[in-house]
Amino acid sequence: MHKAAQALILFICIALACTVISCRQKSTGGSAEKKLIVVASLFPLYDFARNIGKEKAEVVLLLPPGVEPHSYEPSTGDILKMHEADIFLFTGEAMEPWIGDIRKEIRGEKPLIVDTGRGIRMTGGHADSEGDDHDHGRQDPHIWLDFSNAEKMVDTILDGFVRADPSNKESYMQNAEAYTQRLQELDKQYSGSLASCKKRILIHGGHFAFGYLARRYNLQYLSAYQGFAPNAEPTPRNLIELVKKLRESKLQYLFYEELIVPRVAETIAQETGAGLLKLNGAHNVTKEELAQGVTFISLMEQNLENLRKGLECQGR
Ligand SMILES: [Zn+2]
């Protein structure tokens, strides 16, 4: 009698536990399949990974929304997030100089740490680095702003996905291929649109972020900050030079960057009477932009609109 009661209670417990588990599974979309957890340091990597993983991955952006990325360092909480991930994506040592410490910190099979800048030739950018002590290795880390590099980054991220989760290889490969095509279209749109501009000089009131982009589309590029990060103040000599160039080239617009107060760009605009247009380096996005669902490609399309206006490009 006692044993029968015990068996009944055990049975009820097991039945209840099963119900709870099946409810949980339903609440996560009805699938028991575990998602691949991917943590990405910067917005472009985050967006590339989202496009490769689609519904099979949960991609997390490490940078808090709106934070200026060059001066960012991971908090303890951020390091924990990396520990819990299957894959951690970063851009390169020039962009994330803290990666060396993280590598020491994270030892073991997880996460798979992927250097998305692998195999991409970085340039030194500009000749004059005066007053620029904060550059990391004097290499331009903004590799994603050359879309042929972005394609290589997508390949490297795909490789990481396949290594971490070989069972979904086909799906990741298909997604990556479709996304690569979109990057190629974007590149064509840029080269087509920017071929017909009256002005071929891009004057930027921000840090030296668009060297790769300017080079790819044969534009001359001058930035107020000589550094690869917005941390060293521009020298008066630089500003005078920029104002002179702007006037000489009869440019009606200059560009300013995202996420920081464009004080320098505003000063130049006031001095010259030029208008201001945003040129988004897409390092990171704001909370509002994230909520609106901006993508790397949508930011780049907006940039192209502004470049066409600022450089007086003809046709479409
Ligand atoms: Zn930058």
18 Cα to the center of ligand 1, angstroms: 51
Inside any domain, residue 54? yes
Q: What is the pLDDT of residue 124?
A: 81
Inside any domain, residue 230? yes
Instruction: Give yes or no for residue 140 having a pLDDT over 70.
Output: yes
Inside any domain, residue 165? yes
283 Cα to the center of ligand 1, angstroms: 7
141 Cα to the center of ligand 1, angstroms: 7
116 Cα to the center of ligand 1, angstroms: 16
Cβ-proximal residues to 165 (8 Å cutoff; 6+ apart), any chain = 36, 56, 86, 172
Residues 219 and 260 in one domain: yes
Give me the domain span that covers residue 230. Answer: 198-310
Decide if 229 contacts 207 (C-beta within 8 A): yes
Residues 182 and 271 in one domain: no
Inside any domain, residue 13? no
The domain tally of the chain equals 2
Residues 220 and 113 in one domain: no
pLDDT band at 5 (very low <50, low <70, confident <90, very high): low
Check which CATH number belongs to the domain holding 226 and give it.
Answer: 3.40.50.1980
Inside any domain, residue 183? yes
pTM of the predicted structure, to 2 decimals: 0.86
**Alpha-carbon span 140 to 209, nearest angstrom:** 8
Inside any domain, residue 184? yes
Residues 210 and 247 in one domain: yes
Inside any domain, residue 109? yes
Decide if 145 contacts 217 (C-beta within 8 A): no
240-286 per-position pLDDT tens digit: 999 999 999 999 999 999 988 899 999 999 999 999 999 999 999 99
58 Cα to the center of ligand 1, angstroms: 26
Residues 117 and 261 in one domain: no
Inside any domain, residue 135? no
